[in-house]
Amino acid sequence: MHNAKIIGTGHYVPENIVTNDDMAKIIETSDEWISTRTGIKERRISTGENTSDMAAKAALKAIEDAKISVEDIDFIFLATYSPDAFIPNTACIVQSLIGAVNATCFDLSAACTGFIYGLDMATQYIKTGRAKCVLVIGAETQSKLLNWDDRGTCVLFGDGAGAAIMTTGEEAGVLACYSGSDGTKSWTLTVEGVPVRNPFVEGNPGSMYDLQNSTIKMDGKEIFKFAVGIMIKSVDELLKISGLNIEDIKYVVPHQANYRIIESTAKRLGLDIGKFFINIDRYGNTSAASVAIALDELAKSGNLEKGDKVLMVGFGGGLTYGGVIVEW
């Protein structure tokens, strides 16, 4: 078995900053409501860049950070629920944008837990020798899936991308991976897909379809209840798997869905909120990109030293959840 290690990170967000006051010009809301309920002050919204564009920019930064050649990459796992298209997969588009000619590329769909699932998969591919160098990306253009008339959802989400390069390492890098799903709660966060419509369906509705209704619908309260409990369970499981104590963890990088979820998790774990890396105020919830962007910002902050242990943890539509502990 080989060790798997993160050797570089990068992120990219659109330049267009949309503040809570800007949102209040579009729908009936206020900076006060959004800030106190969620911790969000502003988010980045694409003015035309699609998921692959942002993903490629984040990937190039991670490649530069890792000091590898783009030809070294043998797999690209791209986590998103807002791909450019059904076919080709967005990972293949990124491959062509960055010139990763030796990579096998595919997307994975696990909503906000996508980047964590991707790190887990890359770890297993590297451990078994199937891969030597994996580019893991979390990227979303959620703005194209939002119902901009629904104030209960459109204020929460943002666009962006984050990436990590994983390779085999001399020392241990990834110390633990944990994941799970609860499909019985799939109704709590949805974006409808294409219904079955073909000449063999009763009434012969034909093959035309209308994606107008494919916007994000969410039961925020139900997810809130689920989130805190599952973050704590994931942390407990990760500590058990790694044999570490919570005191051994230098930073927690949580999914950035709501400041209050992070705060409650910290309280129930008995941890100082200062141990949690938080950037939700600047980006909102960027789904699969959320943990990836936060990890890169933490890495570039100068606060991480070699040997520090970082615990990433998240949850999302599906419902999905999980986490990873890495030694920096």
Site for ligand COA, rule CB under 6 A: 29, 33-34, 37-38, 112, 151-152, 155, 189, 218, 220-221, 223-224, 227, 257-258, 285, 316
Question: Is residue 102 within a helix (H) or strand (E), and if so which, with residue range?
Answer: none
**Closest to ligand COA by CB, 217 or 309:** 217
Residue at shortest CB range from ligand COA:
220
**Closest to ligand COA by CB, 155 or 295:** 155
Q: Report the alpha-carbon distance of residue 83 to residue 75 in Å, rounded.
A: 18
DSSP structure string for 129-162: TS-SEEEEEEEE-GGGT--TT-HHHHTTB--EEE
Q: Report the alpha-carbon distance of residue 320 to residue 263 in Å, rounded.
A: 20
Choosing from 112, 133, 154, 177, the catalytic residue is 112
11 is catalytic: no
Question: Is residue 236 within a helix (H) or strand (E), and if so which, with residue range?
Answer: helix 220-242
Choosing from 50, 177, 255, 258, the catalytic residue is 255
Residue 221 Cβ vs ligand COA, minimum distance, rounded to whole Å: 5
Residue 316 Cβ vs ligand COA, minimum distance, rounded to whole Å: 4
147 is catalytic: no
**Closest to ligand COA by CB, 26 or 201:** 26
Per-position b or e across 35-73, b if 16+ CB within 10 A of its CB: eeebbbbbbbbbeebbbbbbbbbbbbbbbebbebebebb
**What token pair was written down for 165?**
């390069």
Identity at 165, one-letter amino acid code:
I
Assess contact for 96 and 88: CB atoms under 8 A.
Answer: no
**Closest to ligand COA by CB, 72 or 222:** 222
112 is catalytic: yes
Residue 159 Cβ vs ligand COA, minimum distance, rounded to whole Å: 15
Q: Report the alpha-carbon distance of residue 45 to residue 143 in Å, rounded.
A: 6
Q: Report the alpha-carbon distance of residue 120 to residue 322 in Å, rounded.
A: 9
Residue 140 Cβ vs ligand COA, minimum distance, rounded to whole Å: 11
Provide the 3-class DSSP secondary structure of residue 179: strand
Residues 6+ apart with CB under 8 A from 249: 275, 309, 310, 311, 325
Burial class of residue 146, CB neighbours in 10 A (0-12, 13-18, 19+): buried
Residue 171 Cβ vs ligand COA, minimum distance, rounded to whole Å: 33
Q: Report the alpha-carbon distance of residue 41 to residue 128 in Å, rounded.
A: 43
Q: Phi and psi (nearest 5°) for 67?
A: 55, 45
Choosing from 20, 50, 258, 285, the catalytic residue is 285
Residue 315 Cβ vs ligand COA, minimum distance, rounded to whole Å: 6
Residue 111 Cβ vs ligand COA, minimum distance, rounded to whole Å: 6
Of 148, 142, 146, nearest to 14 by C-alpha is 142
By annotation, the residues acting in catalysis are 112, 255, 285
